[in-house]
A and B are shown apart, each in its own frame.
Chain A
C-alpha cells in the first residue's frame, strides 16, 4: 500500500466505471460506427438462430440446411438455386455487396430466453448483422424485439402467430411466412365446400400465444361461412396423451374436430384422435371430420397414416410446379437427399431477400434495408408474386390448402395441394382486429 494516489474512494470509482462499461451492451457503445456491426470490406456475418435441441429440433435442422444452402448460392457456389428464378436479378454470386457471406449459428432451444441469449451473443460477440430463423412464435417475438433494440435486421423464420406482425410488430423485423389469419381465410371456403356450411366444430387448442390466435382466426373464418363452434378447450403444451381431451368430443354434439396443435403435440393428438375412431364415427348424421390448421411435412411424417384425407394449410410445398420452387427443391434435394420443408423454404427465401435488399439499397445500414424491403414486390421464390407490405412487414402471397395424401408415391409425398388460395383472398387491412394494437415504430440502426 505504498501507492498514495490509489485511494479507497478512487478505487471504488474506477471499479464502478469499469463495471458500467462492461455491463453496457457493445451495440450501445460503438459510437464511432455508422450502425451496429458494420461489416468490413471482405466479409459479412449472418446469424442463424434455430432450434437445434428441444421439440422443434428437426425443423431447426432443416432451417439450418436451407440457410447454409443460401450462403453457398450467395457466394457463387452450387447451382445457384432460386437466384436464377428470383425476379430481382441484382445478386450475382459474389456475396453481398462484394463481401463473402459467412455465418454463425445459435440454438434457440425453442425457448425465448435461450433464443434471446444466443441472438445477443451472435450480435455482440460474432458481429452478426442480421438474424434469421426460429421455429416458434414466442421465440420470434422475443428475438424480433431484441434485434430492434440492438439495431440489426430480423428476418423471421417459421412463426405463424398473428402477433409477430400484429401487436408485436417491429420496424427492424420482417416475416415471409404466412399467419393464422391467412390459414383461416384460405381454409374456410375449402372446408365449406368439402364438408358443408352447417358444421359443428370442437377446438382443442395449444395453450400459448400461437394457439390462441390460430383458434380465433379459424373460428372466425369458419363461423363466417356458417359453421357453429361447439366448444374450445385449451390443452397444455407437451401433454403427450390427449385421450382425456379427445374422448368427450364425440358426445358433445360436434361433428368436426379442429386440432390447433403443432409439432409433437399435433403428431400425438391426431394419432390418438384417429385411434379413438373419430375418423370412422358419425355425428349429426354425417361423417366426423378432423382438421389441422397448420400442416408441415415433417409433422405429417410423424403422424404417419393418421393424416390421410385431413385438410390443413401450409406456407409452401416442394411439389409446387413454379420454376422457383422446383429450382429450390432440386438444389436442396441433390445436396441433402430429401425435399425441403416449409421451414427450410422460408429461411432460405428470407436470407436471399435480405441479401437482395442490401444490394439494392447499396448499404448494410438497417434503415436502408428496411426502406428497400418495405413495399417490395417480387416473384420467382415460390407462391407466385409476393408483396412485402410496408405497413406491417408481412409478406402477402398465395396460401396452400393441403390434404394428407391417401396413396403416397414415396416417403416424402405426404401432402397433396388441394388449392392454391389467391393472395387477394388472404389479404387483410393492417389494422384488422386480429392484428390491432401494433406499432412498427421507427427503424433502429444501432450505433
Chain B
C-alpha cells in the first residue's frame, strides 16, 4: 500500500512536468498550428535561467586567507560573494539560498522575450508550410539552443539546490496514519506539484475568464473565422507563443532542485511530452494535462521492481505502449476533438 501511494506521488510529480510542457505544446499547436519541437529547449532554458541566477548571486571576489592553504600548498584564496558584501552576510546568504524561487521572477520576462523572438524571428515564416518543415526547423533550433547551452555551461549536470527550508523530506505517511518512514517524500517535490497545479489553474483561468482567452479558444476552434472577424491574429499568436514559453520556462526553473540541469534535459522531456499530447488529444488542453498525470503515474508504477520482474523492460516502453493502445482505439486521443490532425 505504501509503495503504491509513493508511486502515485512520484507519478504526479513527473506528470506535473509532462503536463506543463504538454500544455505549452498544445497551446501553440492549437492556436498556431505549429508543431514546436523546440519546446523542450524552452524547458531547458528555464532551468538554466535558475542556474544563471544562482551563479550571478554567487559572483565573488577573492580574498587571500594566509591561515589556510589550497591544494598546491599556496595561501588559500577565499571567495566572498558580492551579495554578502552588499547585503550583509546573513541576508546575502539567504538571497543565494533562495535563488531558485527568485529565478521565477527573472524567468517570466526572459522566457517571454525568448518566446517572442522565436516566433517573430523564425516560426512565423513557417505557419503556412507543412508540418514536416515545421518539425525540421524547430528540431534544428532545439539542437542549436542545446549546443549553445553546452558551450557555456559544459556537459555535466549542475546541481542547483532548493532553499534550505525545503531540503530534506517529509513523512507524509505518518500524517495519514502509517508507520514512521513508510511514506517519506521530499518537500520540494510537493512544492513542485503545488506549483504546477497553480500554473495550470492560472492558464485555464486566463483562457476561460479573459477576452483574450476567449478569442484564443475561438481561434483554437476555428482559426479562419476568427481571422475573418478582423481580429489581429498575428499579435495574438505572438502572445500565445510567449505564454507557452513562460509556462515551459517556469516548469524548468522549478524542476532544477529535482533534476540537476543539463543541456539535453529538454530533449529527454520533449519526446515524452509529445506522446502526452498525442495521448491527450492534439489540441486539447484538458487532455494534455490529464494525459500528463496519467502517463506520469503509469510510468512510475512500471518502474517498480515487482512489475519489472513480471514483465522485463516494461519501464522503458510503457509510455509508448499506452500511446499505441490509445491511438488504436481512439485515434484522436483521449480528449481530442474531431478534425484536428485528421484532415
Contact = CB atoms under 8 A, between A and B. Distances in A.
A277 B170 CA distance: 8
A55 to B, nearest CB: 6
Nearest to B185: A276
B262 A247 contact: no
Contacts of A303: 159
B225 interface: no
Contacts of A55: 155, 262
A215 B129 CA distance: 51
A277 B172 CA distance: 12
A334 to B, nearest CB: 7
Contacts of B9: 247
Contacts, number: 127
B68 interface: yes
A241 B3 contact: no
B300 A413 contact: no
A298 B6 contact: no
A437 interface: no
Interface in A196-252: 231, 233-234, 236, 238, 240-241, 243-245, 247-248, 250-252
A71 to B, nearest CB: 22
A298 B155 contact: no
Contacts of A330: 72
Interface stretch (A96-104, A264-272, A373-381): A264-272
A233 B308 contact: yes
Interface residues of B, number: 49
Nearest to B9: A247
Given A236-B315, A275-B257, A277-B184, 7 more contacts: A53-B150, A240-B268, A243-B10, A244-B300, A251-B3, A268-B259, A271-B159
Minimum-distance CB pairs A-B, first 3: A277-B169, A57-B155, A244-B303
25 contacts: A57-B150, A233-B305, A233-B308, A236-B316, A240-B259, A243-B189, A244-B11, A244-B300, A244-B304, A250-B181, A251-B182, A252-B305, A264-B156, A267-B260, A275-B257, A275-B258, A276-B185, A277-B169, A283-B181, A302-B157, A302-B158, A304-B159, A305-B161, A333-B72, A334-B72
Interface of B: 2-3, 6-7, 9-11, 13-14, 68, 70-72, 76, 150, 154-159, 161, 167-169, 181-182, 184-186, 188-189, 257-260, 262, 265, 268, 299-301, 303-306, 308, 315-316
Interface of A: 53-58, 231, 233-234, 236, 238, 240-241, 243-245, 247-248, 250-252, 263-264, 267-268, 271-272, 275-277, 280-283, 298, 302-306, 318-319, 329-330, 333-334, 338-339, 409-410, 412-413
